[in-house]
Every structure is written in structure tokens, then in C-alpha cells.
Structure 1
Amino acid sequence: MSAGRLLFRDAPLAALLLCAVSGAAQARPASGVNLASGEFNSKRKPGVYGKDYIYPDAKVAAPFLASGMKIVRVPILWERVQPVMGQPLAPDEMRRLDKALAGMSGFQTIVLDVHNYGKFNGQRLDQMPDGAASFAELWRQLAERYKGQGKIAFGLMNEPNGIPAPTWRKMADGAVAAIRDTGARNLILVPGTSWTGAHSWTKGGANSNAAAFAGFRDPGKNFAFELHQYLDSDNMGTKEQCVDGATAAARIRPATEWLRKNRYRGFLGEFGAASNADCLEALNALLRQVEQGSDVWMGWAYWAGGPWWKRYPMNIQPEGGQHKPQMAVLERFMAGGR
């Protein structure tokens, strides 16, 4: 499927994805941010809203909108929106979530991110007899609720891991089919297993994400693969020390080439760095590589902003009206940046 032949039925999404379908004068990949906190304290389920977790609001989003960002990724926890697998969505929780999403309306695209790592109540979906069917049913209900809102994109699952790639592919197929069966035309973001790492996407031979998702198709013809890439030594995003810029850029090249060869689009859904000089250099190199691949990379969302971060080194939520050092790097790769 050639990117040049994709049909976009929704004007906001069409505008956002011009970077993936334009010709000689390619636009920069669209810029964005994760506004975390809805997934906080995941061991307390459902937890107390406002104490254990909270959704971002328009005030939290405002500085990122003012900077020119177009995408926001909003993490949610499956067990909060649907406490019992296969049952209806929780009405009170969905009202809270709807209010939060309305507060993000200034963004062109709002990614609804099920932040569960391929699990429900700590158990992997492939180890549950009804895991795949329940996953599809969750997305059927979410799609029914949001199918009339073209700005909302469906992030199937944050960083599945432990699930074999061929098994995860079948689960993703089922969720995509359930979404499209509702008539929803929203953008779908499809992750791989193994934490959906860009650096490992093509590794593992027949068991790699690259092999498992070869030939993947969406009946709605409006999807991208969501990949993540961190900049520390083990690619996990837990350390304040980063690899050098050349290594950071090299980590994403094989996935970029796979997307290009297979005529797919990619979305860099998570990446982040501490504010020291080495990490800022690596961050710059990573985004430069994404920009050079703007024929396949539709956009990116930095991890993370949000209202409840404390001493998290990758946090870019402004404090006292002051931007964090990482924002100076991010702004270089936004529309109108240098």
C-alpha cells in the first residue's frame, strides 16, 4: 500500500499526516507530548481520583499548545475505565476521561493510550483464556464511544512485553477488526511487542516485530506503527546518562528502513532524556534522524509532561512559567523551528 494513495476522510488527521504523504517539500513530522498521570499508581485499582491518579486538563496542556505542539498522548489504565473484562465501561470514569479529552481540544490529534503493557491486573493477555477477546471488546466499546470524534486516535496498547510477536500480531488484528466493525475511521496506532522498541523492531528473525507485522493491513486504511526509543544504555528510559548522538541516531535507522521498505507510517510515541549536555545531544540526534525520515515518520510525542511529576529527570512540564532545557531541543524540530 503506497502512502501516496492513502485516503483521509477526516480533515484534522489529513492535515496532521501530510508529512507522510507529501512529495518533494515534505513537512516535518508533527510534534507532541505525553501528558501522564492517568496511569499513575497502577497497583491501586481503581484507586481514588485526585489522590492516586488524575487526568491532565487544559491548564496542563496550555504551555505545549502555546509552543506549537500538535499531538497529545493521554495515558489511561484499562482497569479504571473497565474494571471487569468484557463488561461495560465505568460511567463515572468515562465522564472524567471525556472531560479531560475535551480539555485537549486545542491539539490536532489526541492519542488515547491504554497504558497496560499487554496485561490486565498484572496478568499477560496471552496467559488468559479470554485475553484476546477481552482486548478486542475493550476497543469495540471505546471505538463506539469516540468514533464520531476524528481528533481522537486509538493507541491500542502501551509497550506490550513478554508476549511472542506472532501472538501479539493476532491480538492487534482482533482489536483493529473490532474497531473498524463499529464504523470508526479514527487513526489507529499499532505497537509491537518487546516494549515496541525501535532499536529491536527488526531483531529476532521470525520472532521479530518486523516479521510478525509484515503484510499488516487495516480495513480502514488509517493506521501507523507506534514505536518507542529511549536514550540510555539499556533503552529503558530509567537512567540520567545517555548514549552518544551517533548511537542514538543509529538505534532508529533499521526501523525507519523497515517502514520505508514496507510503505508503512511510523509514530514515535515515547522517547525522553534528562537535561544534562550528553542527553540533550542524544535527543537532538534522535530527532534529527526522525526528521530525515519524514517520508515515513508521521510524528512524535515526548515522554513526558503532566501535572504530578516530582523529581523525574525527563519531566518537561514547565515550573514557575519556565520551560525545561529539553524544550529548547524539541522546538528545533517543530513546525517553524530552527
Structure 2
Amino acid sequence: MLQGTNLTGGETFYQQWSGTSPQVGTHYLFVADKDIDTCVAAGMNCFRLLFGWEAYEYSPEYRAALNGRVNYILSKNCTVVLDIHPGDANYGAAYYGVKIPGFSGGFAVGSRLAKTWQGLATIYQGQPRVQFGLMNEPNGVKPADWFAAAQLCIDSIRAVGNTSTVWCPGADWDAASNWTAANGPAWNLKDTANNLGVQVHMYFDANNGGGGTDIVSASIGVERLKNTVDWARGKGLKVLLGEVGLQASQPLAKTAWGNLVAYMAQEQATVAGWLWWAYGPPIWWSKYQFSLCSSDGAQMKLAFPAPVPPPVDTRDQQIVDLTARVIDLSNKASDLKTMVVNLQSENARWTDRIKTLEARIADAKVALG
């Protein structure tokens, strides 16, 4: 199962730098190698990497920085879900403030989005661990309009031969709790690669948006996610819980989180995994209420308790041991073969020397008469 976190810091709102260029450390700041190392050491194997659509299109330096993070995550044998994430939540499914299905710069926003994803699909062709999240929390747009744009994106990704997983979010803030009602009726997406899944977000507070630290009940996480899981199971689709978080200091935190984790494990035929919200550059994100880089480490301990090594199957261990013995014997046989070749070569040299001496002795006898 995929388990990890959202890597924040790359999301940037175009109005903050419009007319200039996004500046690292001011308008965006991707996490460092050591941050990713910390997450991997905690047991994470997947990262949702947030980036700004307009910044990606505008700035070569920004694109290079994003690519650097992707490559470093891949070097850790982890999965990365690329996610267009506007710096202002109200601008989901929008390009320079224009929402789907509108036009921006003479292009339909949906078509422009598809072009961006096709470019990324081309760059990461042949990298199945680079997956595509399309858009963070589409809102202020009709589900039918959003899914029409999403279909364009899927088709554009497949058109260049990229068959990696596409995780499609839903309209209405992508909430797991009301997916069936908000998005189910309009869902009509097709994927020629048969590698399409649903991405949803879910929090434990009364508002269901993560703005509060309250936890409604110990079972609320399961209840909210179940709405999407039951629907997806009927469609033969996988579900990625792309954002989830709660405050470790709340009395119900450990129980509520444990119940959700157990439920996801039980439903792993449908639930592909979960990604905590969030881990960002500590200088920017250490004080956020759900941050995994908090100074006390409480959130990390809740979400990722010390990993327990999986039990080793005795038969598997025997196979490992036998394989090691075969390799050792093969190496020894190779060494013996080399020794035999060397001895044969040495024997040939001595044979030549003996023949030379015998010839000299014969010549000496002739000379002596």
C-alpha cells in the first residue's frame, strides 16, 4: 500500500509574482534532500508533490527545481504523484484565475491543462512510479465540465504512450464524504491504459476541510472514506486518499487514526494508499497544525510510528540461504577453473623448457663426439 505525505512548498499563487518570475525562497521553496530522507526513514514510500501550474509554464528555473525533486524521490525507490496545486485554494481548476470551461490567453483552460500534462507525460515516459494527480480540489466548476477536462488530460497522457496511473479528483473540493452525490452521477471517464483511479481528500473535523483540529468521533474517518470506497469498488476503480490529517494532541486522535488505518488495510483491494497533509520546508511549515515536521515530532509519531520489520517466511529465508550458497559455490568453481588454467599454462611453459634442455643436451653429445 502507498503511504506517505504531501510535499508542500512548491505551490505558488500566480498573483504573488505576476509580471516578474517566481523566486525560490520568496514565492516557493521545495523540500530539501534531507527532508525526503527523513520521510523515507519514517517508512514512507509515496509523495504527492505540489507545484504551481502558472509557475511551471512560466519559469525554466522552477521546472528544473520540480524535476530535481522528482528525480530525488525516484532515487529513493518511491512513488511520486504530481499535483497541480494553486497557491490559493479558490483557484482550483483555474489558469490565471479563469476556471474551466473558460478561456485564458485564447485557449480553453481544459485544453491547456491537457497540454501541460502531455508535456509532463512525455518527460516521465517509462517511469511508472511517476503518477499524475491532474488538479487539486477542483471547485466552483460543474462536475461534468471538470470531468470533460479530465478526460482530455487522460487522453493526452496516453497519446504519448505513457501508461502511468492517473488519479482523478472530483469537483466540490474532492471530499470523500460526498463523492457519490457530488461526482458519481457525472463520472464517465475512460482510460485506454486501464490505469485510472480516484483521488479524494478527507479530514476529521466538523467542517471536513481540515481547518479545525476537532475530531467528530472515533469512527468519522472510516464513515467519510467509506462513501467513496463503496462507490469505487462497484466501478472497479482504486482510491487514493490524497490528503488526510488530524491533530495528534486530540484525545481521540490515536483511536480515530488507528480505525482509519485498519479500515484502509481491510479495503486494500480498493484503497491504493494514503498521503498525510503535510510535510513542507520546516522553516515554513513546522508550526502548521498537522505538520509532520513539527519540532516535537508528535504528528510524525502518530502517522508513522516506528516501522516494524515484516516477519520473514522460513521458506523464503531458506531460498535466500540456498541462493547464497549456490553463488558461493559458483564463485569457488570459477576460482578453481582459473587455477586449472594457470596450472596448465605453467605446465606448458615447463614442458617447453624441458624440450629446450633436451635439445641442448643432444647438441652437446653430438659436439663431444
Smaller-chain TM-score bracket: 0.7 to 0.9
CA distance in 1, matches of 2:46, 2:244: 14
Partners in 1 of 2:177 and 2:247 — Cα distance?
19
Does structure 2 retain, via aligned residues, the 8 Å contact 1:30–1:334?
A: no
Give the residue type in structure 2 aligned to 1:113: D
- Find 1:223's aligned residue among 193, 196, 204: 196
Corresponding residue for residue 114 of structure 1:
84
**Aligned equivalents of 2:97, 2:254: Cα separation in 1:** 34
Residue 44 (structure 2) aligned to one of 58, 69, 78: 69
- Any conservation in 2 of the 1:271–1:302 contact (CA below 8 Å)? yes
Matched position secondary structure for 1:174: helix
In the alignment, the residues of structure 1 paired with residue 308 and residue 209 of structure 2 have an alpha-carbon distance, to the nearest angstrom, of: 25
Give the alignment partner of residue 98 of structure 1, picking from 67, 84, 89.
Answer: 67
1:199 aligns with 2:177: yes
* C-alpha contact 1:275 1:313 (8 A) present in aligned 2: no
Pairing partner for 1:315 from 271, 276, 291: 291
The structure-2 alpha-carbon separation of the partners of 1:279 and 1:250, relative to structure 1 and needing over 3 Å to count, comes to: same
Distance 1:333 1:195 in 2: 33
Residue 335 (structure 2) aligns with = none
Question: Alpha-carbon deviations, 1:9-37, whole Å to 9, x = none?
Answer: xxxxxxxxxxxxxxxxxxxx321111111
Alignment of 1:186-335 (within 5 A): 186-203=164-181, 208-214=182-188, 216-276=189-249, 277-307=251-281, 308-317=284-293, 319=295, 323-331=297-305
The answer as to 2:152 corresponding to 1:180 is no
Report deviation, 1:42: 5.4
- Partner of 2:277, secondary structure, is strand
Contact 2:48/2:83 (8 A) holds in 1: yes
Structure 2: stretches of 5+ with no match in the other structure: 87-91, 312-369
User: Is the contact between residue 12 and residue 55 of structure 2 (CA under 8 Å) also seen in structure 1?
Assistant: no
Provide the residue aligned with 2:34 in structure 1. Answer: 59
**Matched residues in 2 for 1:113 and 1:335: separation?**
31
Q: Would the aligned equivalents of 2:288 and 2:294 in 1 still touch at CA under 8 Å?
A: no
More helix by share: 2
**How far apart are the structure 2 equivalents of 1:130 and 1:334?**
50
- Residue 333 of structure 1 deviates from its aligned partner by 9.2
Structure with the bigger RCO (C-alpha within 8 Å, sep 6+) is: 1
Q: Is residue 291–residue 333 contact of structure 1 (8 Å, CA) maintained in 2? A: no
Distance, in Å, in 2 between the alignment partners of 1:278 and 1:332 is 20
Task: Check the 8 A contact 2:128/2:164 in 1, yes or no.
Answer: yes
Letter in 1 for 2:38: P
Deviations 1:263-318 (A, max 9, x none): 11111100111122233433222222222211100111111011120421100125
CA displacement at 1:107 relative to structure 2: 4.1
Match of 1:111, as an amino acid?
Answer: V
State the shift of 1:335 in Å: 7.9
Q: What TM-score, normalized by structure 2, do the two folds share? A: 0.75
Aligned to 2:146: 168
CA offset at residue 254 of structure 1? 1.8
For 1:33, the equivalent position in structure 2 comes to 5
> What does the per-residue CA deviation read over 1:193-213, in whole Å, with 9 as the maximum and x for residues that have no partner?
11111101012xxxx311212
Length, aligned pairs only: 296
Moved more, 149-158 or 73-82: 149-158
Which one-letter code corresponds to 1:131 in the other structure? V
Task: Give runs of aligned pairs for residues 82-93 of structure 1, distance below 5 A.
Answer: 82-83=57-58, 90-93=59-62
Structure 2 letter corresponding to 1:234: N
| CA-CA distance at 1:330 after TM superposition | 3.7
- Aligned match of 1:16: none
* C-alpha distance in structure 2 between counterparts of 1:252 and 1:336, whole Å: 27
Aligned positions of 1:126-137 closer than 5 A: 126-128=101-103, 130-137=108-115
Unaligned 5+ segments in structure 1 are 1-28, 84-89
Q: How does 1:138-153 map to 2 (within 5 A)?
A: 138-153=116-131
Aligned partners of 2:285 and 2:140: how far apart in 1?
A: 28
Check conservation: 2:43, 2:307, Cα contact below 8 A. Answer: no
